[in-house]
Structure 1
Amino acid sequence: MTTPLRTLEGVRIAAFTQFLLGPAAVQHLADLGADVVKVEAPAGAWERHWAGAETFRNGVSTFFMLANRNQRSLVLDLKSELGHEAALRLIAKSDVVVANFRPGAMERLGLGYEAARKVRPDIIYATASGYGSDSPFRDLPGQDLLIQGLSGVAWLTGRAGQDPVVAGAAVIDQHGGALLAMGILAALFHRERTGEGQRLEVAMVQAAFDLMIEPVVYAANGAKLERPSEEIADTFHSAPYGVYRTADGHAVISMTPVKTLVEALGEPPLTGLDDPSIAFSRRDEIRSALGPLVARHSTADLIERLRAHHIWCAPVQTIDQALADPAVRHLDPFLEMEHPRAGKVKALRHPVRYGAGEPELRRLPPEVGEQSREILGELGFSDEDVARIASA
């Protein structure tokens, strides 16, 4: 029997979160045992009303379901007197505040860092936004697609002479959420050592640069990055690194000498193109020469041949194919939730494996305000005030 892992049991987090970055961050911590209280408007969080590819299960958003488990929902009208008081009481009894509204929004509600410090001097106040709270661009929307464009992610992914290509997933939101969770854990450890709380923040632009650490640092140190015209995977690797068409699909081939690859394919040498010293400067030309040789093989045959020669390679798969892949199935990446309205819903497990135990599903993603009365009671509100707050 697996031992439940509750490393953060006893840590309370007041989550003023929306969309993906904020909920993803606190879900990492909720999975580890933290008591996350998700504060929602009476109409419910934005992510309850939208789902990618319109994937609703009996009216329940899978977008909400994928990043809000192990949390409790508290509905508050933060602009009302009682709602504001309840939020401050929650903060006073919390270890961490997490918010990913635009900078200034929490301050306008009277719930910013200084207000939080007055009721909880050692509070850890964690925020995320597009550009950072002190940026002259702080009021611009910070959304994954916009940051992919501004930061260079989309340009890096494109080909010379073609339009930029954005990543097929909200990679900056998800990476930003992981960075925010990491920062919160570091701040908790700092407070345990020193007794000091602090404010911390993640700017999505900086999260994007962290994702692109190689090309960004190369460019900052003088590299002139140019998008390849062939299917080289990026702006800075040498041939044959890239995506190749096969007889029945595609495969990716990583760092390997051109001579070794040609030998594995059973082809005669590419005279003049197998010199390692030209593998970067003439990478498009080399890629053009290799393409027809690779395309003679089925994907399965190609992968078998190349792996026999210890060449790094993999098939290019659809999501459905990836989910059926034995390497993925071995990891057992999904957990199944039995939701009272949505029925059986699959979600990804906590992404880290721990030797001391396994994060557990303690709570289903909550209904709007499902635990409001319970939480307000914990905060010391009378039954009368609880009823007034609930009816707001």
Structure 2
Amino acid sequence: MQALTDVTVADFTQLMAGGWSTQKLGDMGADVIKIERPTGDVQREMSYRGTLLDGTGIGYLTMNRNKRSVALDLKTDEGHRAATKIVEAADVLVHNYRPGVMERLGLSYDDVTEFNPEIVYVAISGYGSSGPYADRPGQDLIYQAMTGLTSYTGRAGEPPTPAGTVVIDEHTATLAAMHTVQALYHRERTGDGQKVETNLLNAAVDLQCNELTYSMNVGEDLDRGEKTHGHPYLYPPYGIYQTDDGHVAIGMAPLETIADTFELDSLAEYDGQRQLFEHRDEIHDVIESYTETRPTDDVVDELVAADVQASAVRYPTEVPENPQVQHNDMILELDHPNGGTFKTTGIPVDMSSSEPAVARSPPGLGADTRDVLGDCGYSDADIDRLEANDVIRVAGDSRE
């Protein structure tokens, strides 16, 4: 038995902050019912770099395994009634609509607790459900900029630099999933459901606990170095260095270890953490004067032999070949909803009991509408009528 076996999630989410959070619940064993409009989740047709994978957005494939798809029109009375029946039988509802949308749909927390008082109701928004920014639109980049992350990423003299992945959405999704499980545990102990709210702005602040605590207490911003240092308040050797055929990342280590390993006697003149930080650019150049003459693999081997954290800088296409990634089963091959298979990332946690697992590949649009509505008491004739009236969409529907 998995941890969330027998837990049903009514999933009104799309995009990463919502969609990835409910996938995590599905990985834990929850029955996640993805409620989509008849035209489908926007990510089904959203390209990455102008590319779809066999006609489907890669973002959809990434964030929707272990779910069942029900396609219905919430703006119709019958579609709303069907959604209400799904929510009535659910343990959890998750949505990431902007504030006010679920209220207009008649599915606010107050509405839902009228017929399902023990529901765990999870609301994910951009800035929170109230406050001066509550009605603003937002996206990952906006929160990175608003909370300082872009100001200290990159090199001195260059423009503010965003992270290479949507770190705020990713952290928000993880926080939402974690606190959903917390609320379920609370309900198991007390019998009480509750509302859980999180937002991307809060997640952006939480993600930078070290950096913001430093700046708030020391009273200074984080200045970037001119070199590829790994972090604006850490000091060498932490950073990325050019090699003869690529780049190498070096982690935290005593500078004397680097000096001994690379036979760089000039590093001995730098002593103490403050001096290391103040002279970080020139220290970087001294270390790089050695690494840039050597093949990447040789540099990594030398450092690992000296018990220093080091890795070649790899590209995404190289990650599946990493022997430790393979050993950890972090690359999965799943069925594509349009036929064939695709590769995606695996589950990052091992557990001795209640192991997370992938039981379902991402569903085609409306693939489970008939089964889910049947579970809610609809007859085949009822479902056929709803389909004919364009209230729902079922698998194999070829409408434009």
| TM-score calculated relative to the size of structure 1 | 0.94
Q: CA-to-partner distance for each residue in 1:252-306, whole Å, 9 max, x for gaps?
A: 1121222221211022233532444511222223223332233222211111112
Match in the other structure for 1:379? 376
> Any conservation in 1 of the 2:14–2:96 contact (CA below 8 Å)?
yes
RMSD: 1.8
> Any conservation in 2 of the 1:376–1:386 contact (CA below 8 Å)?
yes
Counterpart check, 1:255 vs 2:255: no
Counterpart check, 1:272 vs 2:264: no
Match in the other structure for 2:394? none
> Any conservation in 1 of the 2:256–2:268 contact (CA below 8 Å)?
no
Residue 350 of structure 1 and its aligned partner are, at CA, apart by 1.9
> Could you say what secondary structure the match of 2:277 adopts?
coil
Counterpart check, 1:350 vs 2:347: yes
Q: CA-to-partner distance for each residue in 1:157-209, whole Å, 9 max, x for gaps?
A: 12211012222222221221111000100000001111111111121122122
Counterpart check, 1:200 vs 2:196: yes
> Any conservation in 2 of the 1:88–1:119 contact (CA below 8 Å)?
no
Structure 1 residues 139-158: aligned runs within 5 Å:
139-158=135-154
Query: Are residues 18 and 78 of structure 1, via their aligned partners in 2, closer, same or farther at CA, if it must alter by over 3 Å?
Result: same
Q: CA-to-partner distance for each residue in 1:5-46, whole Å, 9 max, x for gaps?
A: 522111111000011121111111111211111111110111
Moved over 4 A (4+): 274-277
Structure 1 residues 1-392: aligned runs within 5 Å:
6-224=2-220, 225-339=222-336, 341-356=338-353, 358-390=355-387, 391-392=390-391
Q: Which amino acid aligns with 2:170?
A: Q
Identity of aligned residues (%): 38
Q: Which runs of 5+ in 2 are unaligned?
A: 392-400
> Could you say what secondary structure the match of 2:15 adopts?
coil
Query: Are residues 280 and 301 of structure 1, via their aligned partners in 2, closer, same or farther at CA, if it must alter by over 3 Å?
Result: same
Q: Which amino acid aligns with 2:72?
A: L
Query: Are residues 60 and 222 of structure 1, via their aligned partners in 2, closer, same or farther at CA, if it must alter by over 3 Å?
Result: same
| TM-score calculated relative to the size of structure 2 | 0.92
Residue 357 of structure 1 and its aligned partner are, at CA, apart by 5.5
How many angstroms apart in 2 are the aligned matches of 1:155 and 1:109? 39
> Any conservation in 2 of the 1:57–1:342 contact (CA below 8 Å)?
no
> Could you say what secondary structure the match of 2:269 adopts?
coil
> Could you say what secondary structure the match of 2:4 adopts?
coil
